[in-house]
Amino acid sequence: MSLNPEKIAGEYFDYTSVKITDKEFVNYRDLVYEVAGISLQDKKKPLLTGRLSKRLRYHEIRNYTDYLEVVKNDKKELQMMIDLVSTNETSFFREEKHFHFLEDMVSKMKTRREPFAIWSAACSSGMEAYTTAMVMAELNPGFSWDIFGTDISQRILVKARKGLYPIDAANRIPGKYLKKYCRKGVRDMTGTFLIDKKLRAKTRFEYINLNADSWPSIGPFDVIFLRNVMIYFDAPTKKRLIHNMVQRLKPEGYLFLGHSESLLGMSSELNTIQPAVYQKK
């Protein structure tokens, strides 16, 4: 007997043992690409089944074809499916050189007075956005600033808005920021920390599907973080995404990518400043 059986109609059934056929996987791959622009390779089969088995259990469905029909006919379930297959890997001060670049750039803006807008375009649980908020708050520039975080996962955006993280996530936060902008949980909240409410007030989070035909009216931004996103997209999707990003950058605004990503052949509207940092012409 399985270690994780569910009893239905008097019999036990192990949802984690349900296999996905090649045809079923292709159908899911095509739907995920159509909705989110994410290209699922064959090696992602274990990830897909591992994350969706809980939805089969919830609906008491015993195969992936029947669950796909539920997804196609229920917008909430479709969003749930996209939430589960989206990868939300992130950390505080990830690719730290980008934040040194931001510090140096903002420090030189001694005569600026207009607001400074930053977009964390695939913010996941909010660590990138709050890292940026800590940097901006510490610089204390002579102009107002705000940070806009977006993601395709509604589930992960709930976590981002709370700004509450397990204490282990603080390991990469430098001491001066940790002491000043993070509140260690006590009693029932032991083992967690909360981002300072003043920083949370400067940071807002909303849902945006970067693969959608149209986006809400946002921007323009001085800085856009689009890091470690394009690795999940094919070439046409990447090119369209970069074009849309450039349209939402201010003149001479900056676009940050992940260090494993490149814009080679993607856009003539940006100049390379340093690895993974581009500026709008």
> 56-107, pLDDT tens digit by residue?
999 999 999 999 999 999 999 999 999 888 877 799 999 999 999 999 999 9
Q: Which CATH architecture has domain 97-280?
A: 3-Layer(aba) Sandwich (3.40)
Amino acid at 69: E
Contacts of 281 (CB under 8 A, 6+ apart): 269, 270, 271
236, 212 Cβ separation under 8 angstroms: no
Interhelix angle 45-59/75-85, rounded to 10 degrees, is 140
Q: What is the pTM of this model?
A: 0.86
84, 152 Cβ separation under 8 angstroms: no
Q: Where in the chain is the domain with CATH 3.40.50.150?
A: 97-280
Q: Where in the chain is the domain with CATH 1.10.155.10?
A: 6-85
DSSP state of 241: H
> Token pair 């002579």 is at which residue?
142
The pair of three-digit structure tokens given for residue 109, joined into one six-digit string: 């803006």
> Token pair 């749930």 is at which residue?
80
Q: What is the H or E stretch that residue 9 is in? A: none
pLDDT in tens, 120-158: 999 999 999 999 999 999 999 999 999 999 999 998 999
Q: Which CATH architecture has domain 6-85?
A: Orthogonal Bundle (1.10)
The pair of three-digit structure tokens given for residue 168, joined into one six-digit string: 């282990």
